[in-house]
């Protein structure tokens, strides 16, 4: 599970990757230009969604315009890199059919991204110079996968944005922002873009700071902007972690401590499988949860198997109504910090994109390889793609991705 953890003394501006990847292979340092491959991965089970999403006949996934039959042509990702001071990483645009990079790339780093307007536009969060401050921008994704110029959105944000989410037209934008010192705490905020009004909920434990709620990653919002969900850890007396949670928040709630306004949707012990990521359906009545379990212990002569199970659940009570997929990463020999399966849902709710495995090469000339599943939520359609992340630059190594669709 990739969470913003309490108790670990991490530099205030060091961002833990949001809902990272299961890592496979020994890190030997990576270099060379990114290259994509499109052959299917192995070790994955398929299970059609159940009652909430009746299965229809299988369909072939391919590039095309967003619709019930085909996913969007492109997705965006941020490469998470070890040693990043503020959590920014290269922003990339890739083909949904093959995972290949588009011909023209944005050419800058970003902290977090969120898709809206049927996936044709992005909200992009970036750090302001080298300050402990962030800004939000809008950008349009063209028909050939080119990201347009950035347009400023809202006021300067105090702190470093860790994740961002938006409603269907980016009139309501939510974001987690980390503190500028360990003596402070992070917060969740909602920006109403038309008025510039910002509402904050405080007391979020991030980067080793104080706070009553340990969270900050993988924020998701309904199409109406009325509900947000996120995962994290509940804390007890003295800041003790008491269990994993999925929480929901009405964005109309009054400002104040986050713990006083959020609602627990699902509760699990810390010792169990990791509640890695949760994404809301457009209507907000259901959400998709990825839970990652690990079998075995990494050692010099042993590997582990990590299994990501994606289920659809009711937002009202967290009850499961079906299993979407079971994705297995075998032969894991390096247990990095960023474990899990970052997920993104298309704005129409028809598809999920779930990276679940990252394999490092045996030499510095081989960039790390990501395996991801493209999953239909209302049909048994699925496809597997693989793509290369950038190679290492000095001491920096790609450790995972955050994605939006």
Residue 243 lies in a domain: yes
Residue 189 lies in a domain: yes
Across 68-77, 264-273, 298-307, the highest mean pLDDT is recorded for: 264-273
Residue 12 lies in a domain: no
- Residue 155: is its pLDDT beyond 50? yes
Residue 129 lies in a domain: yes
Summarize the confidence of residues 43-71 as an average pLDDT: 39
**83-141: per-residue pLDDT in tens?**
665 678 999 999 999 999 999 999 999 999 999 998 899 999 999 988 999 999 999 99
Provide the pLDDT for residue 302: 75
In DSSP terms, 244 is beta-bridged to: 233, 268
Residue 234 lies in a domain: yes
DSSP secondary structure code for residue 396 in this structure: B
Q: For residue 70, what pLDDT band results from cuts at 50, 70 and 90?
A: confident
Maximum separation of any 2 CA atoms in the chain, in Å: 59
- Give φ, ψ of 259 to 5 degrees: -60, -25
Provide the pLDDT for residue 69: 60
Give the list of residues 6+ apart from residue 240 with CB closer than 8 angstroms, or none: none
CATH number, domain of 43, equals 2.120.10.30
**311-355: per-residue pLDDT in tens?**
999 999 999 999 999 999 887 766 543 457 899 999 889 999 999
The percent of residues in the chain predicted with pLDDT above 90, rounded, is 55
Task: Kindly report the pTM of this predicted structure.
Answer: 0.83
Residue 128 lies in a domain: yes
Give the list of residues 6+ apart from residue 218 with CB closer than 8 angstroms, or none: 2, 18, 19, 163, 230, 231, 276, 277, 278, 279, 342, 343
Handedness of CA 386, 388, 389, 394 (dihedral sign): positive
Distance in angstroms (rounded) separating the CA atoms of residues 112 and 388: 20
Give the range of the structural domain holding residue 166, as residue numbers without chain letter.
Answer: 23-404
**263, burial (CB in 10 Å: exposed 0-12, middle 13-18, buried 19+):** middle
**370-401: per-residue pLDDT in tens?**
999 999 998 888 999 999 988 765 567 888 89
Give the list of residues 6+ apart from residue 169 with CB closer than 8 angstroms, or none: 116, 117
Helices and strands in the chain, H and E counts: 1, 29
- Give φ, ψ of 312 to 5 degrees: -105, 135
Q: Quick check: 30 and 321 in contact, CB under 8 A?
A: no
Domains held by the chain: number: 1
C-alpha distances (whole Å) from 187 to each of 98, 157, 369 are 37, 11, 34
Summarize the confidence of residues 235-256 as an average pLDDT: 90
How big is the CA angle at 32 (ends 31 and 34), to the nearest 5 degrees?
Answer: 110
Provide the pLDDT for residue 232: 93
DSSP secondary structure code for residue 259 in this structure: H
Residue 3 lies in a domain: no
Got the DSSP string for 81-122?
Answer: ETT-SSS-EEEEEEETTT-PBPSS---SEESEEEEETTTTEE
- Give the residue among 77, 60, 72 at the shortest CA–CA distance from 355: 77
DSSP secondary structure code for residue 217 in this structure: S
- Residue 37: is its pLDDT beyond 50? no
Residue 4 lies in a domain: no
């Amino acid at each position: 599970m990739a969470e913003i953890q309490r108790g670990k003394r991490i530099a205030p501006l060091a961002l833990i990757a949001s809902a990272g990847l299961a890592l496979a292979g020994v890190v030997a340092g990576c270099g060379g230009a990114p290259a994509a491959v499109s052959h299917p991965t192995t070790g994955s089970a398929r299970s059609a969604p159940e009652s909430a999403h009746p299965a229809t006949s299988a369909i072939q996934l391919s590039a095309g315009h967003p619709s019930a039959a085909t996913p969007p042509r492109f997705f965006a990702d941020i490469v998470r890199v070890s040693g990043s001071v503020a959590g920014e990483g290269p922003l990339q645009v890739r083909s949904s059919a093959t995972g290949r990079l588009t011909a023209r790339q944005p050419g800058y780093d970003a902290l977090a991204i969120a898709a809206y307007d049927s996936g044709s536009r992005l909200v992009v969060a970036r750090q302001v110079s080298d300050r402990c401050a962030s800004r939000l921008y809008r950008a349009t994704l063209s028909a050939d996968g080119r990201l347009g110029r950035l347009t400023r959105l809202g006021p300067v944000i105090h702190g470093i944005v860790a994740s961002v989410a938006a409603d269907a037209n980016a009139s309501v934008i939510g974001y987690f922002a980390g503190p500028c010192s360990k003596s402070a705490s992070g917060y969740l905020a909602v920006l109403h873009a038309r008025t510039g009004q910002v509402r904050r909920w405080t007391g979020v434990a991030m980067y080793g700071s104080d706070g009553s709620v340990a969270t900050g990653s993988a924020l998701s919002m309904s199409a109406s902007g009325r509900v947000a969900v996120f995962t994290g850890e509940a804390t007890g007396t003295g800041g003790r972690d008491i269990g994993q949670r999925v929480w929901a928040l009405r964005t109309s709630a009054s400002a104040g401590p986050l713990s006083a306004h959020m609602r627990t949707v699902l509760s699990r012990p810390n010792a169990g499988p990791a509640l890695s990521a949760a994404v809301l359906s457009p209507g907000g009545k259901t959400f998709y949860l990825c839970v990652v379990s690990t079998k075995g212990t990494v050692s010099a002569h042993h590997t582990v198997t990590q299994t990501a199970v994606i289920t659809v659940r009711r937002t009202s009570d967290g009850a499961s109504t079906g299993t979407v997929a079971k994705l297995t990463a075998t032969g894991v020999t390096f247990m990095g910090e960023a474990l899990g399966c970052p997920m993104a849902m298309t704005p129409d709710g028809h598809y999920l994109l779930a990276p679940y495995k990252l394999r490092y090469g045996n030499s510095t000339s081989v960039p790390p390889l990501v395996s991801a599943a493209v999953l239909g939520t209302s049909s048994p359609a699925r496809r597997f793609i693989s793509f290369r992340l950038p190679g290492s630059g000095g001491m920096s190594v790609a450790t995972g991705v955050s994605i939006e669709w």
